[in-house]
């Protein structure tokens, strides 16, 4: 029986609340028979609600408590002892801070192959956000990158960061978006105006204010799907700009239903200060939507020349929106190019690539 231990970057209940529960996310190609998820919280979501995360495998979720900065060092022994009791063949950590360091420590002490994934370019993050915590966690980055058996990098942009900081082995496996989900017929939402969609957290990193200001003066709607600390501020901005009838806030949509919103929109937009991948951009491409994104790396890499890249300013986005709304042929052409690009990066291919990586590491062990 093949067992996997997973250390997610957040408790599973948070993904469940945001509608981000995806098929086989922790068990590519149903490779493992049993998946144990170790989460840093007091109580997590009921296992039966998120069974699809591990496909056909038996799922067990182990909440081990919520650490504080002072108590976190004690969690290394707690995590190691739990992994030792489970006796998995493989350990997977998501991120290179708390989850990745715990996973790597347990693997190193117990002689179990360990894989961690990098979801951001962390130097870019620190360049944008000067908070002290992002400097303090560099010690966890250092330990994780130098001791994990392999790092899964979401993009080549992230891979360059990992190699620059001493990882032994790195592979690029893009985040999984299944184009099959975007081939289904759905009932579209009917909008009175051309509609621009963005799926993002409403936080400073993602710069949703840029998109709101961009539609001022345009005869277009903006639909924002997501939640975050800026929600109240953004709603006040919408009132100040007198855009209440053209900006819609939707807190969350289950991943199994998100395609309806992509199919109903005319343009997808993403403004962001830094990224590791950006799944919504690839989802929009899979749905055949023309994408307008800022020139922040790695968005040009993900899009592969299929959309419109602009500076991260309201004026640049507004000009791009206006051009696409006026040129339906160009919109259709970019949408078709994006869809072909998304099909080449289909989640099934990424899933198989991840599964083969596990096979290779287990054979070496």
What lies within 8 Å, CB to CB, of 132 at 6+ separation is none
The pLDDT of residue 54 is 98
The pLDDT of residue 256 is 87
Strand partners for 249: 224
Domains 3-178+347-364 and 179-344 equal at CATH topology level: yes
User: For 255-280, how does the pLDDT look when each residue is reduced to its tens digit (9 = 90+)?
Assistant: 889 999 999 999 999 999 999 999 99
Chain-centroid distance of CA 116 in Å reads 15
The pLDDT of residue 364 is 81
User: For 234-252, how does the pLDDT look when each residue is reduced to its tens digit (9 = 90+)?
Assistant: 999 999 999 999 999 999 9
Model confidence at 169, pLDDT cuts 50, 70, 90, reads very high
> If one looks up domain 3-178+347-364 in CATH, what number appears?
3.40.50.2000
* Residue 292 predicted with pLDDT over 90: yes
The pLDDT of residue 128 is 93
Q: Which two tokens stand for residue 317?
A: 């986005």
Would you say 158 and 120 are in contact if contact means Cβ atoms under 8 Å apart? yes
Q: Beta strands 34-39 and 3-7: pairing type?
A: parallel
User: For 21-51, how does the pLDDT look when each residue is reduced to its tens digit (9 = 90+)?
Assistant: 999 999 999 999 999 999 999 999 999 999 9
- What CATH homologous superfamily does 179-344 map to? Glycogen Phosphorylase B; (3.40.50.2000)
Mean pLDDT of 120-145: 94
The residue with tokens 């919504």 is 280
Percent of the chain's residues with pLDDT above 90: 94
326, with CB counted inside 10 A (0-12, 13-18, 19+), is exposed
DSSP string, 165-224: TT-S-EEE-PPP--GGGGGS--PPPP-SS-EEEEE--SSGGG-HHHHHHHTTTSS-EEEE
CA distances from 207 to 90, 262, 313 (A): 38, 20, 10
- pTM summary value: 0.92
d(CA 306, CA 325): 17
d(CA 250, CA 246): 13
What lies within 8 Å, CB to CB, of 356 at 6+ separation is none
d(CA 263, CA 282): 14
First to last CA, the chain: 16
The pLDDT of residue 222 is 98
Model confidence at 120, pLDDT cuts 50, 70, 90, reads very high
User: For 295-327, how does the pLDDT look when each residue is reduced to its tens digit (9 = 90+)?
Assistant: 999 999 999 999 999 999 999 999 999 999 999
Domain boundaries, the chain: 3-178+347-364, 179-344
The pLDDT of residue 185 is 81
E strand or H helix that includes residue 196: strand 195-199
d(CA 208, CA 130): 20
Average pLDDT in the chain: 96
The pLDDT of residue 19 is 82
């Amino acid at each position: 029986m093949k067992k996997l231990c997973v250390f997610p970057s957040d408790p599973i209940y948070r993904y469940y609340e945001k509608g981000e529960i995806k098929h086989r996310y922790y068990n590519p190609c149903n490779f493992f028979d049993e998946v144990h998820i170790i989460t840093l919280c007091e109580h997590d979501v009921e296992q039966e609600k998120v069974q699809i995360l591990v496909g056909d495998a038996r799922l067990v979720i182990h909440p081990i408590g919520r650490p504080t900065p002072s108590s976190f060092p004690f969690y290394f022994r707690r995590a190691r002892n739990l992994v030792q009791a489970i006796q998995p063949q493989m350990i997977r950590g998501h991120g290179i801070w708390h989850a990745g360091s715990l996973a790597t420590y347990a693997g190193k002490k117990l002689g179990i192959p360990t894989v961690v994934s990098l979801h951001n370019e962390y130097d870019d993050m620190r360049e944008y956000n000067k908070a002290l915590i992002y400097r303090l966690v560099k010690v966890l980055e250092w330990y994780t990158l130098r001791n994990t058996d392999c790092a899964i990098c979401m993009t080549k942009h992230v891979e360059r960061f990992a190699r620059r900081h001493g990882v032994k082995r790195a592979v690029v496996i893009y985040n999984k978006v299944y184009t099959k989900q975007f081939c289904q017929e759905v009932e579209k939402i009917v909008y009175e105006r051309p509609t621009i969609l963005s799926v993002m957290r409403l936080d400073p990193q993602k710069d949703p204010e840029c998109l709101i200001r961009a539609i001022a003066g345009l005869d277009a709607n903006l639909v924002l799907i997501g939640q975050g600390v800026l929600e109240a501020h953004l709603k006040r901005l919408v009132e100040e700009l007198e855009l209440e009838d053209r900006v819609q806030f939707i807190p969350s949509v289950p991943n199994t239903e998100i395609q309806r919103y992509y199919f109903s929109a005319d343009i997808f937009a993403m403004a962001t200060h830094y990224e590791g991948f950006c799944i919504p951009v690839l989802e929009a491409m899979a749905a055949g939507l023309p994408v307008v994104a800022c020139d922040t790396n790695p968005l040009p890499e993900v899009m592969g020349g299929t959309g419109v890249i602009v500076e991260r300013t309201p004026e640049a986005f507004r000009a791009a929106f206006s051009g696409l709304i006026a040129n339906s042929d160009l919109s259709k052409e970019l949408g078709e190019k994006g869809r072909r690009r998304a099909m080449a990066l289909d989640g099934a291919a990424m899933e198989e690539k991840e599964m083969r990586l596990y096979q290779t590491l287990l054979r070496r062990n």
